[in-house]
Amino acid sequence: MRKTASGKMKRTFTVVDAKHVDGCATKFHGGSYTGSGPAQAASKAFTQLCKVKTVKGQCSLIITMRETTQEAKTKKEFKYKATRSKLAVPVVLGSHVLEYVNKVHATKGSPTCKKSRKSSGPMRRSRKSTKKSTKKSTKK
């Protein structure tokens, strides 16, 4: 556990599994997320997954997190149903604009998948947006 500047302890978690709400598997890359609790880390992972999957608007996933903090006695798993909804009016905080709000609720089980929606091929990579400059050629 790491201490922040305010003295609070931070715990680390990793994504074990990510599924659609109907129980079908989805492609994901695990990562290390820190937070004061597993729900906060699940919210951060959920935000990243929705960004990588380029979901605009509403997004819903079931995320399983495992604690990877070195001082933790048990490496317990936590399962959350996370939903994202778009705000009617975006909130401006300094230089950031918040367009969405995440809601994360603990869940015990997930439904079984009837028909897989996972496509073949690798997961889309997150890319930094680059604006292409277009120059109009003038003919003389």
| High-pLDDT (> 90) share of the chain, % | 4
pLDDT digits (tens, 9 = 90+) for 55-98: 777 888 888 899 888 887 778 888 999 988 888 898 898 898 88
CB 64 within 8 A of CB 78: yes
One-letter amino acid identity for 37? Answer: G
pLDDT at residue 127, as a whole number: 60
Residue corresponding to tokens 């990579």: 125
The phi, psi pair for 139, rounded to 5°, reads -95, 140
| Cα distances (Å, whole numbers) of residue 32 to 13, 38, 42, 58, 112 | 6, 12, 10, 24, 27
CB 11 within 8 A of CB 72: yes
DSSP codes joined into one string, 18-53: EEETTS-B------EEEESSHHHHHHHHHHHHHHHT
pLDDT digits (tens, 9 = 90+) for 95-110: 988 888 889 999 887 7
Say how far apart CA 80 and CA 116 lie, in whole Å: 21
Residue corresponding to tokens 């869940």: 107
- Token duo for residue 48: 């990243």
Band (pLDDT 50/70/90 cuts) for residue 3 is low
Where residue 12 falls (left for φ over 0; alpha for ψ -120 to 50; beta otherwise) is beta
Q: Tell me if residue 90 falls in helix, strand or coil.
A: strand
pLDDT at residue 98, as a whole number: 84
Domain range annotation of the chain: 2-106
